[in-house]
Amino acid sequence: MDDLNALREELLAAVESADSAEALEELRVSALGKKGRITGLMKTLGQLSPEERRKNGQALNAVKDAVAAAMEARKSALENAELEGQLAAETVDVTLPVRPEAEGRLHPISQTLDEIIAILGEMGFSIAEGPDIEDDFHNFTALNIPPEHPARQMHDTFYLPEKQDGSRMLLRTHTSPVQIRAMQAATAKKDESGIPLRIIAPGRTYRCDSDMTHTPMFHQVEGLIVDRTGRIHMGHLKGCLIEFVRAYFEVADVPVRFRPSYFPFTEPSAEMDIGCTRKGGELKIGAGDDWLEILGCGMVNPKVLAACGIDPAEYQGFAFGMGIERLAMLKYGIPDLRTFFDADLRWLKHYGFLPLEVPTLFRGLTP
């Protein structure tokens, strides 16, 4: 038995001192291989009496297991050491900058419009469209702006060349002609399924005006609801627009004010202001002692309904319109309207939005 203990100690010491996978393998062969020392001892067991064979066999197996386990442990220790050495050699400077990444941005007009659509879409509005090059009927006459109406002067219209029949196309001065087109399309449906109508119409608009606060092209969103008389009145108009500005500016208690105003295509007409403070040149939307005009609105003028073939005795509704750039400027603190159309990369990066910032009411409108 002492011999076995000595063998065990000797082999374990040898395993511990093996300094490479090769040395370890050599040792394994010499101890556990076919001609190994432990294998050799195993072979002598057959000459012993059954009782001794069992006793010695157990002892010998214990030694064999201990040596095999030690070898396994030594092997993985050696492998670990080798891997660590290799990894140490592979060290890089992790402070190096990463590979160039995409830096694209969406224009604030797109983002603002997406926000508006998220809010009004939730209220049941769907999007209607119309052409930028309009005719006089849709842009003016159907909207109760006859040829000599003083309101036409306020519009600074861009005109295209006169046609043979004397008519002239124009660049739409507001998105309101889309109201007309939407109502005409609704009445064209024979089964009256076109009404109730609940649309918003975003788009480019044009006025022949250019200075600090005007650009010859800008964007508006128009809203229109037409329903049976009595179902939609001024109270709903207020409810809808108050909810809109609160959601858009994300100020739950923003004060609002409706002022009587005048638009040929609505009657009664109103302008909506929201409360704000102006301190040291900085504008803050919310409670305050100052007011900021935000949009124009009103009940659709019965003459406009009639011009679209809708019976004003049976139907009524409301409409509103607002400037997208203005809403973007107010919410995101963009100071100069003219910069919107300059495509300056520095501006686009600074005021633009990441494409994954999809505005929704439930997950948050604004990044």
Partner 1 sequence: MKFTLSWLKDHLETDASLDEITDALTALGLELEEVHDPAKDLEAFTVGYVVEAKQHPNADRLRVCIVDTGKEKIQVVCGAPNARTGMKGVFAPAGTHIPGTGVDLKKGVIRGEESNGMLCSEREMGLSDAHEGIIDLPEDAPVGEPFARFMGLDDPVIDIAITPNRGDCLGVRGVARDLAAAGIGKLKPFKAAEKIEGTFKSPVQWQRDFPKGAEDACPMVVGRTFRGLENGPSPDWMQRRLLAIGLRPISTLVDITNYVTFDLGRPLHVFDAQKLEGRELTMRLARAGEKIMALDGKEYELEDGMTCIADGKGLHGIAGVMGGEESGCTGDTTEMFLEVALFDPIRTAATGRRLGIESDARYRFERTVDPASTLWGAEVAARLVLEICGGEASELSIAGEMPDTDKKVTLRPDRVKTLGGVDMDVEGQRRILEALGFAIDTTEGQIVATTPSWRPDIDGEACLVEEILRVNGFDNIPVVPLDRDSALPEQILTVGQRREGFARKVLAGRSMMEAVTWSFMHDEQAKLFGSVPDSLRLDNPISADLSVMRPSILPNLLAAAGRNADRGYGDAGLFEVGPAWRDDTPEGEDVLAAGVRTGRSGPRHWAETPRSVDAFDAKADAMAVLAACGAPVDNLQVSRDAPAWYHPGRSGALRLGPNVLAWFGEIHPRVLKAMDVKGPAAGFEIFIHKVPQPRAKGGKTRPLLRPSPFQPLGRDFAFVVDAEVPADSLIRAARGADKSLIADVRLFDVYEGEGVGEGRKSVAIAVTLQPTERTLTDEDIEKVSAAIVAAVAKQTGGTLRG
Task: Tally Cβ neighbours within 10 Å of residue 12.
Answer: 17
Q: What is the 8-class DSSP label of residue 360?
A: B
State whether residue 221 is helix, strand or coil: strand
The yes or no reply on residue 351 touching partner 1 (CB under 8 A) is no
Nearer to partner 1, 56 or 112 (CB): 112
- Which of 21-29, 41-49, 52-60, 154-162 is the region at the interface with partner 1 (rule: CB under 8 A)? 154-162
Minimum separation from the CB atom of position 249 to partner 1 (A): 17
Minimum separation from the CB atom of position 284 to partner 1 (A): 21
With CB under 8 A as the contact rule, the residue among 57, 131, 286, 288 that binds partner 1 is 131
The yes or no reply on residue 292 touching partner 1 (CB under 8 A) is no
- Which of 57-65, 67-75, 237-245, 276-284 is the region at the interface with partner 1 (rule: CB under 8 A)? 237-245
- Which of 40-48, 69-77, 80-88, 236-244 is the region at the interface with partner 1 (rule: CB under 8 A)? 236-244
Cα–Cα distances in Å, from 17 out to 5, 7, 10, 13, 152?
Answer: 18, 15, 11, 6, 100
User: Are the beta carbons of 208 and 157 closer than 8 angstroms?
Assistant: yes
- Which amino acid does the sequence have at 165? D
Nearer to partner 1, 11 or 274 (CB): 274
With CB under 8 A as the contact rule, the residue among 36, 275, 323, 352 that binds partner 1 is 352
Minimum separation from the CB atom of position 307 to partner 1 (A): 14
The yes or no reply on residue 354 touching partner 1 (CB under 8 A) is yes
User: Are the beta carbons of 291 and 277 closer than 8 angstroms?
Assistant: no
The yes or no reply on residue 250 touching partner 1 (CB under 8 A) is no
The yes or no reply on residue 239 touching partner 1 (CB under 8 A) is yes
Nearer to partner 1, 121 or 288 (CB): 121
Residues 70-109 that bind partner 1 (CB under 8 A): 96-97, 99-107, 109
The 10 Å CB-count burial string (b at 16+, else e) for 81-102 is eeeeeeeeeeeeeeeeeeeeee
The number of residues in the chain equals: 367
DSSP per-residue codes, 243-273: HHHHHHHT-TT--EEEEEEEETTEEEEEEEE
Minimum separation from the CB atom of position 136 to partner 1 (A): 13
With CB under 8 A as the contact rule, the residue among 69, 81, 154, 287 that binds partner 1 is 154
With CB under 8 A as the contact rule, the residue among 225, 295, 310, 334 that binds partner 1 is 225
Minimum separation from the CB atom of position 214 to partner 1 (A): 10
- Which of 36-44, 57-65, 161-169, 278-286 is the region at the interface with partner 1 (rule: CB under 8 A)? 161-169
Minimum separation from the CB atom of position 176 to partner 1 (A): 16
Three-class secondary structure assignment of 345-359 = HHHHHHHCECCCCCC
- Which of 16-24, 50-58, 75-83, 208-216 is the region at the interface with partner 1 (rule: CB under 8 A)? 208-216
- Which of 5-13, 34-42, 59-67, 114-122 is the region at the interface with partner 1 (rule: CB under 8 A)? 114-122
The yes or no reply on residue 150 touching partner 1 (CB under 8 A) is yes
What is the C-alpha to C-alpha distance for residues 63 and 295, in angstroms, rounded to an integer? 92
What is the C-alpha to C-alpha distance for residues 89 and 119, in angstroms, rounded to an integer? 57
Which residue carries 């930028």 as its tokens?
132
Cα–Cα distances in Å, from 83 out to 72, 80, 227, 297?
Answer: 16, 5, 76, 73
Q: What is the 8-class DSSP label of residue 162?
A: E
The yes or no reply on residue 161 touching partner 1 (CB under 8 A) is yes
Q: What is the 8-class DSSP label of residue 189?
A: S
For residue 119, the surrounding DSSP H or E stretch is: helix 108-122
With CB under 8 A as the contact rule, the residue among 66, 242, 283, 292 that binds partner 1 is 242
The Cα diameter of the chain in Å comes to 130
Nearer to partner 1, 15 or 328 (CB): 328
- Write the interaction track for partner 1 spanning residues 325-344; mark x where CB under 8 A is met and - where it is not: ---------------xxxxx
